[in-house]
Structure 1
Amino acid sequence: MARYDINRFWEMSVFIKVVEGGTFSAAAITCNMTPSAVSKLISRLEKRLEARLLTRSTRRLQLTAEGCSFYERSSRILSDLDDAERQANAGEHPAGRIRISTSASYATHVLIPIIGSFAERYPDITLDIIQTDVVVDLLAERTDVAIRAGQMTDSRLTVRKLGETARVIVASPEYLAKNGTPQSAEDLHRHRIIGPTYARTIEGWPLRGEMDVFPMAVKDHIQASDGEAIRQLALAGAGLARLTAFTVQGDIAHKRLVPVLEHLNPGDREAFHAVYVGQGGPVPARVKALLDYLKENGKVY
């Protein structure tokens, strides 16, 4: 069968629905087909491509490496097609759904305060905001944009920098009044430490020594799954925490939190980025609108 006799856009659409729905049955409902017809279409597609796209089991479907690549490219192609049709019909008008993955800290202190004005500017864009400090696989989680801190290592992602921020050790005035204010690195061993449950790039807290910066080993007495929860624990007097400056600058200004060991602060800064899947290809208008808006209004300092 000649390639022009095959509705490849329909094949891509059905394949995407299978991936997003997780089963042939779910895709069948969306596509107004029978599960058997969906299964046969995917089998024909795999045979034509000479590649296994899905691993089938009794419970779920799992994308193969080839399936991940085909899903990514198909999603981009169909998204570009949708954008092209919208632009032909009504100019370059951003519309559609955007799924955003972001840390609770960035969401609370940066994203949420500005998202109302974004919604007013782009009324035809709907937003799905997922708060997590866990680094998610954008492709597997069907996420359009993620806000991430630190070094970017995934070559599949395109990065836009949103600034960088310092880090500071803080505690509540009440905690310090009861437990004293640490004056040296060794004093940290006598204090309760609040830390994250997720893995950190550097173990311990970097502090400035006489000659250079060294990582001070600290034992987390209390752990939380995201930076905002750690901040709330510090505000409640639970212990010392090392947090990004933009999340606690208001607390410090209003004396709800007090910086400690500032003479040992190494001055390290953490970069924040907006990232999305792609390597220089066209960006959907809805995603471009969000990225441009974050670059203008969503920076951290």
Structure 2
Amino acid sequence: MSEINRFGEMSVFVRVVELGGFSAAARACRMTPSAVSKLVSRLETRLGARLINRTTRRLQLTAEGTDFFERSVRLLADLDEAERSMSTTGTPSGPLRVSVNVPFGTQILLPIVPDFLACHPGITLEIVLTDAVIDLVEARTDLAIRAGPLKSSGLIARKLGETGKIVVAAPTYLERQGIPKIPADLAGHNLIRLGYSRAVEAWPFRVDGQPWMLTPTGNTRISDGEAMRQLAVAGVGVARLATFQAEADIAAGRLVALLEAFNPGDREEIHAVFVGPGGHLPARVRALLDFLHDRVVLR
């Protein structure tokens, strides 16, 4: 007998017990009383135990029937919960694992997490901060936030926004090393570089109306953009950061924007990516996507 039929038998048996009789259970399950009686008899035969003592006036559970009833209620509740967690339209609930690049995670996502969880208390959120590109299926991850061009893949992407890029350094560093006036002056400076393989090494500028590229050199490579920002604030060297990363530090005087007259105005797109198709997303994933779409503002 299939698992579906076994759960069906449990469901009918539970209704018989809860409603106190075959006729009431039959009405609730849209069956005939005789069909309900035969189903319970088949269930008892398969289990090899009497579940209900039948009299002319009432039904009484046996000890085995009481035990089976309690187990059936728990199993049916677990089945209902499993189906709700898979729902694409129901109340968002269940575990939600998110991989997010470190700058976006620390400065954009983490500050709005309390509001998201307040709106969706049934969701258990797990956030992994990493600038590494992971395999969502292998890492059992529901959604990832990625910056920059997307490689061709089977993933579905939703654009969250885009941000500019800016070259910065701390006042303490500039006091020691001087302020670069033109991009070529950066050749004499310590340029903090990203160390992961997907990073684009060259820094683009626009000089005399033409593209001009500089390959950064320096004594420091770092694994993520947030660590790069912190090193720049500490006066280690010059960094090229996303605008949203640097703007608070610039406003507070911890960093100084450099060479803005030569900024090419390039923009870096930020996407949420997930395993598609989008029409069959679990409700918990769709809830986060919609929340990010409404709340994320990038410059």
Do both share a fold (TM > 0.5)? Answer: yes
- Aligned counterparts of 1:246 and 1:206: Cα–Cα separation in 2: 18
Instruction: Label 1:220 to 1:83 Cα distance change in 2 as closer, same or farther (>3 A).
Output: farther
Contact kept? 1:114, 1:298, Cα under 8 Å = no
1:87 Cα shift?
8.3
Contact kept? 1:138, 1:276, Cα under 8 Å = yes
Amino acid at match of 2:118: E
- Aligned counterparts of 2:283 and 2:245: Cα–Cα separation in 1: 31
Residue from 139, 146, 154 that aligns with 1:148 = 146
Structure 1 gap segments, 5+ residues each: 8-80
Structure 2 equivalent of residue 174 of structure 1 = 172
Structure 1 position 252 matched with structure 2 position 262? no
Pair member with larger Rg: 2
Structure 1 equivalent of residue 216 of structure 2 = 218
- Give the CA RMSD over aligned residues: 2.3
Amino acid at match of 2:291: Y
Amino acid at match of 2:143: V
- Aligned counterparts of 2:289 and 2:231: Cα–Cα separation in 1: 32
| CA deviation vs aligned residue, 1:116-172 (integer Å, no higher than 9, x gap) | 011111111001100100111111111101000112223311111111000000000
- Aligned counterparts of 1:279 and 1:253: Cα–Cα separation in 2: 42
Q: Which range is displaced more, 166-175 or 91-100? A: 91-100
Instruction: Label 1:100 to 1:247 Cα distance change in 2 as closer, same or farther (>3 A).
Output: same
Structure 1 equivalent of residue 161 of structure 2 = 163
Amino acid at match of 2:139: E
Amino acid at match of 1:181: I
Amino acid at match of 1:185: P
Instruction: Label 1:221 to 1:85 Cα distance change in 2 as closer, same or farther (>3 A).
Output: same
Alignment of structure 1 residues 52-131 onto 2, 5 Å: 85-86=83-84, 92-131=90-129
Contact kept? 2:233, 2:254, Cα under 8 Å = yes
**Corresponding residue SS for 2:180:** coil
Identity of aligned residues (%): 46
Instruction: Label 1:201 to 1:175 Cα distance change in 2 as closer, same or farther (>3 A).
Output: closer
Residue from 114, 132, 135 that aligns with 1:134 = 132
**Corresponding residue SS for 2:192:** strand
Contact kept? 1:95, 1:124, Cα under 8 Å = yes
Structure 1 position 205 matched with structure 2 position 203? yes
Structure 1 equivalent of residue 266 of structure 2 = 268
Contact kept? 1:99, 1:128, Cα under 8 Å = yes
- Aligned counterparts of 1:87 and 1:217: Cα–Cα separation in 2: 49
Contact kept? 1:203, 1:215, Cα under 8 Å = no
TM-score w.r.t. the length of structure 1 is: 0.70
1:6 Cα shift?
8.6
Structure 2 equivalent of residue 11 of structure 1 = none
- Aligned counterparts of 2:200 and 2:273: Cα–Cα separation in 1: 22
1:281 Cα shift?
3.8
Amino acid at match of 1:299: V
- Aligned counterparts of 1:137 and 1:231: Cα–Cα separation in 2: 27
Structure 2 gap segments, 5+ residues each: 5-78
Equivalent pairs counted in the alignment come to 224
Runs of 4+ in 1 over 3 A off after TM superposition: 4-7, 81-85
| CA deviation vs aligned residue, 1:237-277 (integer Å, no higher than 9, x gap) | 00000000001101111111000111111000000011101
- Aligned counterparts of 2:86 and 2:93: Cα–Cα separation in 1: 14
Instruction: Label 1:88 to 1:142 Cα distance change in 2 as closer, same or farther (>3 A).
Output: closer
Residue from 232, 240, 243 that aligns with 2:241 = 243
- Aligned counterparts of 1:82 and 1:214: Cα–Cα separation in 2: 61
Contact kept? 1:83, 1:285, Cα under 8 Å = no
Structure 1 equivalent of residue 191 of structure 2 = 193
Instruction: Label 1:87 to 1:225 Cα distance change in 2 as closer, same or farther (>3 A).
Output: closer
Instruction: Label 1:159 to 1:258 Cα distance change in 2 as closer, same or farther (>3 A).
Output: same
- Aligned counterparts of 1:272 and 1:111: Cα–Cα separation in 2: 12
1:203 Cα shift?
2.8
